[in-house]
Amino acid sequence: MDISLLLQLAVLLGAIFLGVRLGGLAIGYTGGLGVAVLALALGMDPGKVPYDVILIIMAVISAIAALQLAGGLDYLVRAAERLLRRNPKNINFLAPTVTYFLTILAGTGHTAFSMMPVIVEVAKSENIRPSAPLSIAVVASQIAITASPVSAAVVFMSGVLEPLGVSYPKLLLVWLVTTYAACMLVALLINLFGNLDLSKSKAYQQRLAEGLVQPHNVGEREALPAGARKSVWIFFGGVVAVVLYACAISPAVGLIEKPVLPRDGAIISFMMIIASLIVMCCKLDTGKLLDMSTFKSGMAACVCVLGVAWLGDTFVSGHIDAVKETASALVGNYPWLLAVALFFASMLLYSQAATAKAIMPAVILALGITPENNSQVYILVASFAAVSALFVLPTYPTLLGAVQMDDTGSTRIGRFVFNHSFLIPGVLAIVFAVALGFVVAPLVL
């Protein structure tokens, strides 16, 4: 390993570490800083800017912002809340189910924020430590990104894998079945072996004595806007249209042999159509769209993906021959190592889409996978769920939100940073999803 490689690696890791320490948009900023240092100071060629991923995120978030302004997100949350309140004893299974499918529909895990206060309240009413349902609910909202037909990560992966002979419907089937089953398996383990009795929590008793625990209170809600339900049906219809179109242009289905719109263009245009219909049918004030929390978080995600994906591609592209040689030797002999690499990369890159874009193309080249020689493509499909390790560092927004919203003190970040409430459920969920993937993918593909 020569000195130039060590310096380049130091810049890569240093930029990511600095971004994580600064938090928020800073990981995108420092990613751009890292590209500048690698290019101007160390002579590397800048990598490809991830325009496709960014544009997909922008389009989906624009439609989600319209849905939120129309009251559609609140409508979905209240429907999910009714489900939780009617079945409080099953909170450990229903909480991750709700956050999982909200993410599947919306393509972003930030929808979990709206469910957290409800999960905490229902758990307290059943004397269950809120950390149990909250931990797996947050993890489910992240891992569901790898099964959402409108997420940038899934659109990118399907675009990469379909030319290699893997059909879009089969990809969705594998990812939906394995990721949801993994979340339910973790929920079952928590239910069977978790320390669920809230009354025995010392932190809870202390906070209760200090008056820091809010009393159980459903409270009154404001009436939803008139077009709330209508906006949900418009958005749901649009998501179905995206899936149907993607299936129709899939070579395996062959309904549209020469599509005018490729998959990326289709999802972007369909999302714009959805947003337009919601604005017109629900008579929205478009000046308020920029104030929506989903719009702000989505645009922040674009900046982060821009920086870290560009930085990652710059480094990987500069050492593509070495990456191919190493990946071919290791992944070819030990397929599960790809999942390990994706796990640690996503832990640092903070984005499922950015991680997939930085690593998957290099692995495809390394393994020599082609449409004629695709016997190893199942490795990529099975390992994909491992890009969801955003919970490892306790700085991700939904993780921090869960800690703040649990007034019982059961959901916490430990003294040693990594010993937080989400680490074990998250690792188990990814292990189960990948393991199931290695079983299901070869059977389905």
What whole-number distance in Å separates Cα of residue 291 and Cα of residue 121?
A: 28
What whole-number distance in Å separates Cα of residue 183 and Cα of residue 425?
A: 9
Does residue 231 surpass a pLDDT of 90?
Answer: yes
Which is more confidently placed, 320 or 103? Answer: 103
Segment 370-386 mean pLDDT:
90
Nearest to 406 by CA among 275, 214, 148: 214
Residues 38 and 55 both lie in one domain? no
Instruction: List phi, psi (to 5°) of 407.
Output: -75, 0
Nearest to 113 by CA among 68, 178, 53: 68
Segment 194-212 mean pLDDT:
84
Instruction: List phi, psi (to 5°) of 351.
Output: -160, 130
- How much is the mean pLDDT over the chain? 86
**Total domains present in the chain:** 2
pLDDT at 277: 96
What whole-number distance in Å separates Cα of residue 183 and Cα of residue 193?
A: 15
What whole-number distance in Å separates Cα of residue 345 and Cα of residue 327?
A: 14
pLDDT at 220: 58
Residues 408 and 323 both lie in one domain? yes
pLDDT at 118: 84
Residues 107 and 252 both lie in one domain? yes
| Tokens (6 digits) for 311 | 């930085």
Residues 79 and 33 both lie in one domain? no
Does residue 66 surpass a pLDDT of 70?
Answer: yes
Domain residues for the domain of 37 are 1-46
Does residue 219 surpass a pLDDT of 60?
Answer: no
The tens digit of pLDDT for each residue in 89-106 reads 899 999 999 999 989 988
Query: Please, what sign has the CA dihedral across residues 48, 51, 53, 54?
Result: positive
Beta bridge partners of 128: 197
Residues 231 and 310 both lie in one domain? yes
Does residue 177 surpass a pLDDT of 90?
Answer: yes
| Tokens (6 digits) for 107 | 């393509």
pLDDT at 218: 53
Give the ranges where 23-49 is alpha helix by DSSP (H): 26-36
pLDDT above 90 covers a percentage of the chain that reads 33
Residues 182 and 329 both lie in one domain? yes
Residues 151 and 17 both lie in one domain? no
Judged by average pLDDT, the poorest of 4-18, 126-140, 321-335 is 321-335
What whole-number distance in Å separates Cα of residue 351 and Cα of residue 360?
A: 14
Most confident range (mean pLDDT) of 209-213, 252-256, 380-384 is: 380-384
Residue type, 16: I
Does residue 371 surpass a pLDDT of 90?
Answer: no
In eight-state DSSP terms, residue 30 is H
The tens digit of pLDDT for each residue in 9-62 reads 899 888 878 887 787 788 789 989 999 999 999 989 998 888 887 888 888 889
Does residue 323 surpass a pLDDT of 80?
Answer: no
Instruction: List phi, psi (to 5°) of 164.
Output: -90, 5
Confidence of residue 299 (pLDDT cuts 50, 70, 90): confident
Which residue reads 């920086």 in tokens? 307
Beta bridge partners of 10: none
Residues 392 and 272 both lie in one domain? yes
Residue 375's CB is within 10 A of a number of other CB atoms, namely 10
| Residues written for the chain | 445
Axis-axis angle for helices 91-106, 228-248 (nearest 10) = 70
| Tokens (6 digits) for 198 | 């809230």
What whole-number distance in Å separates Cα of residue 304 and Cα of residue 241?
A: 29
Q: Burial code of 273-301, b = ≥16 C-beta within 10 A, e = fewer?
A: ebbebbbeebebeeeebeebebbebbbbb
Segment 322-342 mean pLDDT:
80
Residue 414's CB is within 10 A of a number of other CB atoms, namely 11
pLDDT at 278: 95
What whole-number distance in Å separates Cα of residue 267 and Cα of residue 61?
A: 12
CA 127 to each of CA 206, 319, 409: distance values in angstroms, whole numbers, following the listed order: 16, 54, 14
Contact 441, 378 (CB under 8 A): yes
In eight-state DSSP terms, residue 314 is H
| Contacts (Cβ under 8 Å, ≥6 apart) of 242 | 149, 150, 266, 267, 270, 271
∠ CA(430), CA(246), CA(110), 5° rounding?
Answer: 45
| Contacts (Cβ under 8 Å, ≥6 apart) of 236 | 105
The tens digit of pLDDT for each residue in 396-412 reads 778 877 887 888 888 88
Does residue 247 surpass a pLDDT of 70?
Answer: yes
Which is more confidently placed, 208 or 415? Answer: 208
Residues 305 and 353 both lie in one domain? yes
Residues 24 and 87 both lie in one domain? no
What whole-number distance in Å separates Cα of residue 349 and Cα of residue 354?
A: 7
Residues 39 and 123 both lie in one domain? no
pLDDT at 373: 83
Segment 117-123 mean pLDDT:
86
Residues 262 and 227 both lie in one domain? yes
What whole-number distance in Å separates Cα of residue 336 and Cα of residue 437?
A: 11
pTM recorded for the entire structure: 0.83
The tens digit of pLDDT for each residue in 341-363 reads 899 888 877 788 888 887 888 88
Determine the number of helices (DSSP H) and then strands (DSSP E) in the chain.
19, 0
Segment 175-193 mean pLDDT:
95
